[in-house]
Structure formats: structure tokens, C-alpha cells
């Protein structure tokens, strides 16, 4: 019987054929909740060029510490494991789409 192991964060950001946008968030964070629908829209609209992963900072403290996440929401765009862009706080959808388009 084959057991599936959950891929670790490093594998997700390094082994993807597409850039990976990581949304570091928390359930208690108001701005995170406000951005969630926009992140979901972008994930759908740009699925051919981009992979989106959401990381709950409270449930994944080691990943949050490794990437020095001090505030949420924080978005980080990785490509082949390297950080291409990073921003903390709210960002309007047109601005995020523009930044992603420049980095994809």
C-alpha cells in the first residue's frame, strides 16, 4: 500500500514548473480576509502561469520564521525556490496583477 506524504514547503516552491505566489495569512487577520477573494480570483485567472499557495502563519510557524514573516498578509513570489518579489500589507488587485505580470 502506497502512502502519500504531504509535500513540504521547500518542495512546493522549488519543484514547481511555474512561479509560486505564497499568501502568508492568519484566520484572525482582517486585511487577510479582505484579500482572500482577490487572491482566489488571481489564482483562477493566472492558473496557466502561476501557482498560488496559502500558508497559515499560526499553523506553520517554522515556515513563517524561515521567511521572516513579521506581519500578515505577506505575499512572496518564488520562482525555482528564489524570492522574486515580496510585500506585506494590503495591495490592490490591479497593482498585484501588474507586479505578477512583470515577474512571470
Residue (of 10, 14, 22) closest to 74 by Cα position: 22
* Residue 74 falls in the annotated catalytic set: no
Query: Which of 13, 20, 22, 29 is labelled catalytic?
Result: 29
Q: Coil, strand, or helix at residue 31?
A: helix
* Residue 29 falls in the annotated catalytic set: yes
Sheet holding 74-79, edge to edge: 51-56, 20-25, 74-79, 82-88
Query: Which of 32, 46, 52, 69 is labelled catalytic?
Result: 32
Q: List, by residue number, the catalytic residues.
A: 29, 32
Amino acid at each position: 500500500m502506497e502512502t502519500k506524504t504531504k509535500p513540504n514547503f521547500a518542495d512546493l516552491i522549488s519543484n514547481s514548473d511555474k512561479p509560486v505566489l505564497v499568501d502568508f495569512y492568519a484566520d484572525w487577520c482582517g486585511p487577510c480576509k479582505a484579500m482572500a477573494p482577490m487572491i482566489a480570483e488571481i489564482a483562477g485567472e493566472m492558473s496557466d502561469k502561476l501557482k498560488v499557495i496559502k500558508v497559515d502563519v499560526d499553523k506553520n510557524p517554522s515556515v513563517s520564521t524561515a521567511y521572516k514573516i513579521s506581519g500578515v498578509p505577506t505575499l512572496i513570489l518564488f520562482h525555482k525556490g528564489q524570492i522574486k518579489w515580496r510585500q506585506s500589507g494590503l495591495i490592490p488587485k490591479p497593482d498585484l496583477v501588474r507586479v505578477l505580470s512583470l515577474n512571470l
